[in-house]
Amino acid sequence: MTRFKMIVLNGEIKMSIPEDIKESIDLHVKHGNGYVGSFVQAVLENNLKEAFGKADENNREALFEIVSYCYNKIPAGCWGSKENVEAWQGELR
């Protein structure tokens, strides 16, 4: 069973994403990990088709919340396109 990470904003639960996915995204932000898994890589690259294709059932259900987390909580320069992701990974290595 997948554990979900609750995100609380202003005292309200706003989103819930799988904990392992949040941890993978956060590692990418902090360390520019070159390998985050094909699903997270697709999300970070803003590749909707690939993200849905790589997602398991839990991630498919949480995809809106996962993208919302990226949009609202991580730097814009580290995601949004393949070029942004590669540049971020290169800068932090």
Q: Span 35-50, mean pLDDT?
A: 95
Confidence grade of residue 93 (pLDDT, cut at 50, 70, 90): low
Confidence grade of residue 2 (pLDDT, cut at 50, 70, 90): low
Q: Is 69 helix (H, G, I), strand (E, B) or coil?
A: helix
Res 50: pLDDT: 98
Percent of the chain beyond pLDDT 70? 81
Res 49: pLDDT: 97
The set of residues, in sequence order, having a beta carbon less than 8 Å from that of 88 and lying 6+ positions away, is: 28, 32, 77, 78, 79
Termini Cα distance of the chain: 33
Domain residue spans in the chain? 4-91
Q: At what angle do helices 19-31 and 82-91 cross, to 10 degrees?
A: 60
Res 89: pLDDT: 87
